[in-house]
């Protein structure tokens, strides 16, 4: 086969093949079907929203995707490979990183260290090399510091690198959590209510940042958010959950006008 053709195929592959697929995903908590028959497929560099009323099962979907819970039914594939039964840290290594609804930073560590922890899995020097201060230690540490600072500067956090994470204002903590997730070098980024608690200016800025991240780091983004203008403004595709089931999915425009969705939100509130 000609090289050019091969490259073309690869190129096609890159854009068309879904990076993350969920099929018939379900989990039962003591009789409660928290998630049932959830399915979606996320393309490369796509920004998808997962929305729904409180308690719909959105965070649970994230927990299933990241191996925090093992699904009762269904299949999850990352780049065509099943990740079912893998541990959370393994899934992160394979390429799914996340943030948490309630910020979970390493509070007493520096901003820089928060990011460096997530880069640990890409580093190679052994514990012995670290203890003995072998060249590999100094080389990798220097490289990782540079990379971490670069990443922090994307979020305008470079001047806070030495601060303890807990001393950052709320909005910056949210940003740091995204930076930390990106530090794991993921293919898919899961954001659980990234705009929660942000003011309108911060929210608008966050929208730009997420788009920028997608373009710059070539990640697909799946995000949970209650702020509708945020969701409508940034997502290319939406999946709506209610009582653990998908009640609608499609473009923001389609979803917005879907009577089921309207009913769910009105009924939910």
Partner 1 sequence: MTNQKKTGLIPKSKLLSYAVNAALLLITYVLFFVLIANGTINRYTSGIMTTMFINIILTVSLNLVSGFLGQLVLGHAGFMSVGAYTAALFTLYSGLPITIAFPIGIVLAGVVAAVFGVIIGVPALRLRGDYLAIITLGFGEIIRVIILACDFTGGAKGLRGIPTILPQGSDATSLSLAKYSYVFWLAVLTVVIIWAFVRSRHGRAVIAIREDEIAAEASGVHTTYYKLFAFVMAAFFAGVAGSLYAHHIGVLDPSKFNFDYSVEILLMAVLGGLGSITGSIIAAVALTILPEFLRGFEDYRMLIYAVILIIVMLFKPSGLMGQHEFSLSGILARLSSKKSGALKKGKGE
- 260 is in the binding site of which of partner 1, Mg ion, ligand ATP, none (Cβ under 5 to 8 A by kind)? none
Does residue 59 touch ligand ATP according to CB under 6 A? yes
DSSP secondary structure letters along the chain: --HHHHHHHHHHHHHHSEEEEEEEEEEEETTEEEEEEEEEEEETT-EEEEE-STTSSHHHHHHHHTTSS--SEEEEEETTEE-TT--HHHHHHHTEEE--SS----TTSBHHHHHHHHHGGG----HHHHHHT-HHHHHHHHHHHHHHHHHHHHTT-GGGTTSBGGGS-HHHHHHHHHHHHHHT--SEEEEESTTTT--HHHHHHHHHHHHHHHHHH--EEEEE-S-HHHHHHH-SEEEEEETTEEEEEE-HHHHHH-HHHHHHHHHH-
- 54 is in the binding site of which of ligand ATP, Mg ion, partner 1, none (Cβ under 5 to 8 A by kind)? ligand ATP
- 178 is in the binding site of which of Mg ion, ligand ATP, partner 1, none (Cβ under 5 to 8 A by kind)? none
Q: Please report, as residue ranges, which positions from 79 to 138 form the binding site for ligand ATP (by CB under 6 A).
A: 101
- Among the listed residues 5, 54, 127, 267, the single contact to ligand ATP using CB under 6 A: 54
Does residue 143 touch partner 1 according to CB under 8 A? yes
Q: Please report, as residue ranges, which positions from 122 to 141 form the binding site for partner 1 (by CB under 8 A).
A: 123, 125, 127, 130-141
Candidate ranges 13-21, 95-103, 222-230, 239-247; the one touching partner 1 (CB under 8 A): 95-103
- Among the listed residues 58, 116, 174, 187, the single contact to partner 1 using CB under 8 A: 116
Question: Tokens in use for 145?
Answer: 């510091």
Residue 40: CA atoms inside 13 Å, Cβ hemisphere, count? 24
- 149 is in the binding site of which of partner 1, ligand ATP, Mg ion, none (Cβ under 5 to 8 A by kind)? partner 1
- Among the listed residues 11, 15, 70, 121, the single contact to partner 1 using CB under 8 A: 121
Cβ proximity to ligand ATP, 47 vs 56, nearer residue: 56
Does residue 183 touch partner 1 according to CB under 8 A? yes
Q: Please report, as residue ranges, which positions from 145 to 164 form the binding site for partner 1 (by CB under 8 A).
A: 146, 149, 153, 158-159, 161
Instruction: For the CB of residue 81, give the shortest distance to partner 1 in the complex, in Å.
Output: 17
Cβ proximity to ligand ATP, 99 vs 160, nearer residue: 99
What is d(CA 29, CA 152) in angstroms, rounded to the nearest whole number?
Answer: 39
């Amino acid at each position: 086969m000609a090289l050019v053709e091969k490259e073309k195929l690869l190129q096609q592959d890159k854009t068309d093949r879904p990076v993350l697929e969920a099929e018939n995903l379900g989990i039962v908590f003591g009789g409660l079907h928290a998630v049932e028959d959830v399915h979606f497929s996320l393309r490369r560099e796509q920004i998808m929203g997962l929305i729904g009323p409180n308690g719909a099962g959105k965070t649970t979907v994230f927990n299933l995707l990241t191996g925090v819970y093992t699904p009762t039914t269904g299949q999850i594939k990352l780049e065509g490979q099943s990740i079912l039964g893998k541990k959370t840290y393994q899934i992160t290594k394979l390429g799914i990183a996340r943030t948490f609804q309630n910020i979970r930073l390493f509070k007493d560590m520096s901003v820089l260290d928060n990011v460096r922890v997530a880069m640990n899995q890409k580093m190679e020097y052994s514990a012995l090399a670290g203890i003995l201060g072998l060249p590999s230690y100094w080389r990798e540490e220097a490289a990782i510091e540079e990379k971490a600072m670069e990443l922090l500067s994307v979020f305008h956090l470079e001047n806070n690198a030495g601060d303890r994470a807990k001393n950052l204002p709320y909005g910056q903590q949210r940003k740091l959590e995204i930076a930390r997730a990106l530090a794991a070098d993921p293919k898919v980024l899961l954001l659980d209510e990234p705009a929660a608690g942000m003011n309108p200016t911060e929210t608008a800025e966050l929208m730009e940042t997420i788009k920028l991240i997608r373009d710059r780091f070539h990640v697909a983004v799946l995000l949970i958010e209650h702020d509708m203008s945020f969701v409508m403004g940034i997502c290319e595709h939406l999946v709506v959950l209610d009582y653990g089931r998908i009640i609608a999915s499609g473009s923001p425009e389609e979803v917005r006008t879907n009577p089921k969705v309207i009913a769910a939100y009105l009924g939910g509130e």
